[in-house]
Homo-oligomer: A and B are copies of this chain.
Amino acid sequence: MTSQMEDKLQDECGVFGCVAASNCTTPVDVANIISIGLIGLQHRGQESAGIVTNNASIDDGMRVHKGMGLVSAVFNPIILKQLDGNLGIGHTRYSTQGKSEIINCQPFVVDTKYGKIAVAHNGELVNKSKLRRDVLDRGVGLSTCSDSELITQLLCLPLDSEKSLEPDWTGRLRHLMLRTPASYSLVLLHGGAIYAARDPFGNRPLCIGRLEGDVGGKSPDTVGWIVSSESCVFQSTGAAYIGDVQPGQVVKVTNTGVTYTTAVNSGQSAFCIFEYVYFARPDSIFEGQTVYDVRRRCGAQLAREFPVDADVISTVPESATPAAFGFSRESGIPYDEVLAKNRYIGRTFIQPSTRMRKLAVEKKFGVLVENVRGKRIVVVDDSIVRGNTMGSIIRMLRSGGAAEVHVRIASPPVKNPCYMGINIPTPKELLANKLNLEETTKFLGADSLGYLSVKGLLSCVTSGRGKLVENGHSPETKSNGSCGTGHCVACLTGEYPVQLEW
């Protein structure tokens, strides 16, 4: 489904890493675990996938496999078997920078003075134009226009401080952070170590887990570690959540354990608010709370901000279901389904005739007539970007016999571009920049319309933080982020956490 049809913002990537412990009795199939991790991160990017593994004990070069399409199309058991090794990294991609081509697939692998390194990242470099000029001026040719290659070549440059024969990757990552403040969560593979790093603003998520030997057993052995954009993959890989990588932190993982280094202390944080609103899987944990819980609180808050007299609370399946449940519980109005979804609609080809274009939404959904006829319905959605879908939904419900249709959006209007990796339409295309609330209501054909306030959203995001803390790695509340809560809400408010230099 293209962004255009989904009417949703698009995140760009998922990163994953895995290291087997040296003393584990059960052998850990690293490539297999990475593939499962990437399948669990598939919602962050469906365009291409790649895995790179290394066998630190043999060290005869990296195994690399990358391809266009879903993880399940790019990999199979035969390919995974060839990706042997005791550590590795992986990536799934939605392209914001660089064309959709195999050459732009991550992880990006290059040979260096110290042997091969592989880099995979999520995010976008805010000052990439300047960085690119610097690299080219040094006489380095760049074979892609991707940020990954740029980051990789920046990391290849020796530091003045390096005296030893071994490169100081933590130092080089610190140097990278000093040259570019945002936005990247990355994993770097070299020799027998993986380095996981988040930019000083912590704009993109990244977390660490511990692989358990006897899956689900009591106090199980540690057989390895994983690094992942989201924690939702931990259950499926048999891992326990350790904690988030902190903004500006570099975490080195080897077969003997995990080492944390604060490379840059920015004293602030700007975690992307849309990870909570739409991007992340609901069972992922950020800042000690599940995304599901935040979304339900947003729905409840929305019910308080824009109450409505209605018979049914419902949603457009299926990302806004938790918000709709929250709205239902807070308002006391029962939740019910009003639309059945066609699970097989997929990336269908665009229909050329006018008649068929009119029916684009009808292909995706069918009205459940008995639940709609004569009812006053509240449709809760998580966000509206261009507003190209909701109008059709409302028409379908009305033609199914709905008495009233009220729209409630569990996030504020999107008004500004993102420079940190989110694919936002141009300001002119954003519905909130074209019409005011009253005009939008009319445009959609709704009986009423309400957006969650920025303040309301931030209160929902902060009120549950730390509920699920484990292992003492409690997330600290950063104080001077762009909104004071440590979250980036630039696309909603226009206040950017970083001064841009082009």
Contacts from A to B (Cβ < 8 Å):
26, 28-29, 32-33, 36, 39-40, 42-43, 46, 70-72, 75-77, 102-103, 108-113, 117, 133, 136-143, 145, 149, 152-153, 155-158, 215-216, 232, 235-238, 281-283, 290, 292-293, 318, 321-322, 325, 329, 334-337, 340, 342-353, 355-356, 358-359, 362-363, 366-371, 395-396, 399, 467-468
Specify the chain B residue showing the minimal Cβ separation from A42.
B344
21 contacts between A and B (CB under 8 A): A32-B353, A36-B363, A40-B342, A40-B366, A43-B342, A77-B351, A108-B143, A112-B141, A112-B142, A117-B141, A139-B156, A143-B143, A232-B340, A235-B367, A236-B342, A282-B366, A290-B368, A290-B369, A325-B336, A329-B334, A369-B468
Give the complex CA separation of A370 and B42 in angstroms.
24
> Is B216 in contact with A395, judged by CB distance below 8 angstroms?
yes
Task: Specify which chain B residues have a CB less than 8 angstroms from the CB of A337 in the assembled complex.
Answer: 292, 321-322, 325
A76-B349, A111-B143, A232-B340 known; 7 new pairs, CB 8 Å cut-off, are A32-B353, A33-B356, A139-B158, A140-B153, A215-B358, A283-B340, A325-B337
Contact of A215 among B46, B355, B467 (CB under 8 A): B355
Give the complex CA separation of A157 and B136 in angstroms.
9
Give the complex CA separation of A344 and B281 in angstroms.
12
- A294 shortest CB reach to chain B, Å: 10
- A12 shortest CB reach to chain B, Å: 16
> Is B113 in contact with A136, judged by CB distance below 8 angstroms?
yes
Q: Ordered nearest first, which 8 A-B pairs have the shortest CB separation?
A: A110-B141, A283-B366, A42-B344, A139-B157, A283-B340, A141-B156, A236-B362, A113-B136
Specify the chain B residue showing the minimal Cβ separation from A140.
B140
> Is B235 in contact with A362, judged by CB distance below 8 angstroms?
yes
> Is A351 in contact with B36, judged by CB distance below 8 angstroms?
yes
- A358 shortest CB reach to chain B, Å: 6
- A341 shortest CB reach to chain B, Å: 8
Give the complex CA separation of A359 and B239 in angstroms.
11
> Is B40 in contact with A363, judged by CB distance below 8 angstroms?
yes
- A470 shortest CB reach to chain B, Å: 11
> Is B356 in contact with A36, judged by CB distance below 8 angstroms?
yes
> Is B340 in contact with A292, judged by CB distance below 8 angstroms?
yes
Task: Specify which chain B residues have a CB less than 8 angstroms from the CB of A141 in the assembled complex.
Answer: 110-112, 117, 152-153, 155-156
> Is B345 in contact with A39, judged by CB distance below 8 angstroms?
yes
> Is B396 in contact with A70, judged by CB distance below 8 angstroms?
no
Task: Specify which chain B residues have a CB less than 8 angstroms from the CB of A351 in the assembled complex.
Answer: 32, 36, 77
Specify the chain B residue showing the minimal Cβ separation from A40.
B342
Task: Specify which chain B residues have a CB less than 8 angstroms from the CB of A344 in the assembled complex.
Answer: 39, 42-43, 46, 70-72
- Among A236, A334, A336: residue with most chain B CB under 10 A: A236
> Is B29 in contact with A342, judged by CB distance below 8 angstroms?
no
- A280 shortest CB reach to chain B, Å: 10
Specify the chain B residue showing the minimal Cβ separation from A101.
B64
Give the complex CA separation of A150 and B351 in angstroms.
35
- A337 shortest CB reach to chain B, Å: 7
- A460 shortest CB reach to chain B, Å: 14
Task: Specify which chain B residues have a CB less than 8 angstroms from the CB of A26 in the assembled complex.
Answer: 355
Whether A39 contacts B348 in the complex (CB less than 8 A), given A235-B362, A290-B369, A368-B282, comes out as: yes
- A399 shortest CB reach to chain B, Å: 5
> Is B237 in contact with A359, judged by CB distance below 8 angstroms?
yes
- A167 shortest CB reach to chain B, Å: 10
> Is A290 in contact with B32, judged by CB distance below 8 angstroms?
no
- A60 shortest CB reach to chain B, Å: 13
Specify the chain B residue showing the minimal Cβ separation from A75.
B349
Task: Specify which chain B residues have a CB less than 8 angstroms from the CB of A342 in the assembled complex.
Answer: 39-40, 42-43, 236, 281
Specify the chain B residue showing the minimal Cβ separation from A156.
B141
Give the complex CA separation of A133 and B115 in angstroms.
11
Contact of A77 among B71, B352, B395 (CB under 8 A): B352
Task: Specify which chain B residues have a CB less than 8 angstroms from the CB of A371 in the assembled complex.
Answer: 292
Whether A367 contacts B139 in the complex (CB less than 8 A), given A77-B352, A235-B396, comes out as: no
- A479 shortest CB reach to chain B, Å: 26
> Is B238 in contact with A359, judged by CB distance below 8 angstroms?
yes
> Is B156 in contact with A216, judged by CB distance below 8 angstroms?
no
- A36 shortest CB reach to chain B, Å: 6
> Is B145 in contact with A355, judged by CB distance below 8 angstroms?
no
> Is A72 in contact with B349, judged by CB distance below 8 angstroms?
yes
- A493 shortest CB reach to chain B, Å: 29
Specify the chain B residue showing the minimal Cβ separation from A232.
B366
Task: Specify which chain B residues have a CB less than 8 angstroms from the CB of A77 in the assembled complex.
Answer: 349-352
- A499 shortest CB reach to chain B, Å: 26
Task: Specify which chain B residues have a CB less than 8 angstroms from the CB of A345 in the assembled complex.
Answer: 39, 72
